[in-house]
Chain A
Amino acid sequence: MSADIALEVKNLKKYFQLSKDTTLKAVDDISFNIYKGETLGLVGESGCGKTTCGRTIIGLYDKTDGHVVFNGIDMNKRKLRKDVQMIFQDPYAALNPRMTVADIVAEGIDIHKLAKTKAERTEKIHKYLSLVGLNKEHASRFVHEFSGGQRQRIGIARTLAVEPKFIVLDEPISALDVSIQAQIVNLLVKLQKEIGLTYLFIAHDLSMVKHISDRIAVMYLGTVVEITTSENLYSTPYHPYTQALLSAIPIPDPDVEYEREKSRIKLTGEITSPINPPPGCRFASRCNKATPSCFTQTPVLKEVSPNHLVACIGV
């Protein structure tokens, strides 16, 4: 497998210095690999650092420490900017309202000089619009004329226009309605199959993440607590946080919900602040299986079964 690693993240850290003595450790020592053509899901509650992680990986934030290596090249290099792209959560904020759809899609093409003639540029714009299910007539319109789902499609077309190999999807569907979410997810899966893209899919909606991902990493307060294939994660979650998270997902089925209600793991308290976090396991204060040593000993990721890494001293 190691030959097929597309992206390697090693001991990545991103700290924000808030004042002289306060540091917000948004991403604290994270390591994982993403293989070619796969989707790695990154889940966690808001404020756990998943978006910061995604942005630091593609270089939108300067990392504090650690390495991000893409196809053997360090991510700091500018020439990688074309290969690595991002799709944002809010399709209303991510697109420039003063530009036509054609110009939005072609911005990357122009910057990277991917089209030699004007005709080629137009041809490319039309190609990518049709790839995401929009048509030629849309090219001359402005963004405000489109619905949320269509805007997200424009965002995807813009991303694809520079022929990237790896895309960070930062909550690409959470601003959309259920019926539209399914359209976009189907489109993303289709594109991955056709073009052979590698995805890092960041989301808090676990059922959608399960659907689209090959492997899933669960984050809690800046650290990865569990990483494994999506089947394993749902069938045999080891980390108490993953277990609680899974049992909290409401299922659209009254009978199943009624049964689950009895066995639901209820987390008390809320996510602690990542500003000067306490020593030991960061989940310990909310954990129902915490022992005194959890508050002193910092757990590290260890392999409990093949391809299944967990950071918990109780496992």
Chain B
Amino acid sequence: MDKLLEVKNLNVSYQTYAGEVQSVRGISFDVQKGEAIAIVGESGCGKSVTAKSILRLIKKPGVIKDGSEILYNNENILQFNKKRLSSYRGGEAAIIFQDALASLNPTMTVGKQIVENLVLHNNLSKPQAAEEAVRILEMVGIPNATKRAKQYPHEFSGGMRQRVMIAIAFACKPQLLIADEPTTALDVTIQAQIMDLIKDLQTQLNTAVILITHDLGVVANLAKRVIVMYSGKIVESGNCRDIFYSPKHPYTKALLNAMPRLDLQNKQQLSSIDGSPPDLIAPPIGCAFSPRCDYCMQICLEQSPEYTEFEGAHQAACWLYHKDVPSNIFTEFTEGEIKCQQI
């Protein structure tokens, strides 16, 4: 398979009065052509910052630090000049945000916002682009597209606005689509519609999708590969099935167990993760999850864990897999229930 995107040792920091917030701390991953992956994590774990970095949308006081590399088709996007960057953004790579109302221009008709993109990237004349825009609106399932193209964003409902966002994103048939919490603001029935749409377009146009979300349910449906982030680092990555059925990192496991499930007994105690994520101004020296981890050992507090490789391109950063770990702790962890399997 061909690599479309390669992120190498990405570090992003924000300069604030209180100090330097290290939002993303040295993460590396890659995306193949036409592949759907998901980045999962709690708020503040750096998943959205990662997404924005890929499109170079990080604004001051944020900085992508030296030594970070983001390769798109083997070109480093961090070295793109203005012209190359504008053809990359919106043309080859597109992004959908959570809040469609805030992302669309309220003073432009929906059709015009799509036309703008088409004229810039596809060299179409305005009338041609207007025709194309209507066709794209139909493609994303907006009824009465000719009439709707002449309307403004405030005349659309939440789900329809998200469809418009998708229409703009897919207008130039991008190679890479980043969907940053695309359905978080929507209702479940509408969420199902939007996820279906993204899935359809992904297979039809063979676009690679990076889905950023905190909802593991949405992930299960779309992504082939899952990356779990915690406080600016990747703690585990692997195929969707491996992550759900044999999670290796205590955080992934705890996250899966904390989800309420339809098959659990009423009012049964949910296994919660005590405490809250660490402050990234002074990230812990050892494993960032250690203060909340049930299996924390001395080493976890002192040294950051390396990645351990498992079968099927599955890796996790946890000391539990080190050869010197006492076997009783290890078995206690591995034999702990994963409620996911009990359905």
Chain A contacts to B: CB under 8 angstroms: 45-46, 147, 149-150, 177-183, 185-186, 189, 204-208, 210-214, 230-231, 234, 244-245, 248-257, 261, 264, 266-268, 270-271
Among the listed B188, B195, B268, which residue makes an inter-chain contact with A204, where contact means beta carbons less than 8 Å apart?
A: B188
Given contacts A178-B255, A266-B196, contact A245 B189 (CB under 8 A): yes
> Closest 10 A-B residue pairs measured CB to CB?
A250-B217, A182-B272, A252-B216, A179-B273, A45-B187, A182-B270, A211-B260, A182-B258, A248-B192, A177-B42
Closest to B192 in A: A248
Specify which chain B residues have a CB less than 8 angstroms from the CB of A250 in the assembled complex.
188, 191-192, 195, 215, 217-218, 220-221
B159 at the interface (CB under 8 A from A): yes
Alpha-carbon distance A253/B187, docked complex (angstroms)? 20
Given contacts A179-B272, A182-B272, contact A266 B192 (CB under 8 A): yes
Alpha-carbon distance A234/B256, docked complex (angstroms)? 21
Alpha-carbon distance A77/B168, docked complex (angstroms)? 54
- Shortest CB-to-CB span from B342 to chain A, Å, is 10
B196-220 CB contacts (< 8 Å) to partner A? 196, 214-220
Q: Count of B residues near A, CB < 8 Å?
A: 47
Alpha-carbon distance A10/B269, docked complex (angstroms)? 34
Specify which chain B residues have a CB less than 8 angstroms from the CB of A205 in the assembled complex.
260
Specify which chain B residues have a CB less than 8 angstroms from the CB of A213 in the assembled complex.
266
B105 at the interface (CB under 8 A from A): no
Q: Chain B, 158-185, contact with A by CB distance < 8 Å: what is the 0/1 string?
A: 1110000000000000000000000000
Closest to B141 in A: A268
- Shortest CB-to-CB span from B238 to chain A, Å, is 12
Contact B270–A185 (Cβ < 8 Å): yes
Contact A261–B221 (Cβ < 8 Å): yes
Contact B244–A211 (Cβ < 8 Å): no
Contact A253–B244 (Cβ < 8 Å): yes
Contact A251–B220 (Cβ < 8 Å): yes
- Shortest CB-to-CB span from A243 to chain B, Å, is 11
B259 at the interface (CB under 8 A from A): yes
B239-260 CB contacts (< 8 Å) to partner A? 240-241, 244, 254-256, 258-260
Specify which chain B residues have a CB less than 8 angstroms from the CB of A214 in the assembled complex.
266
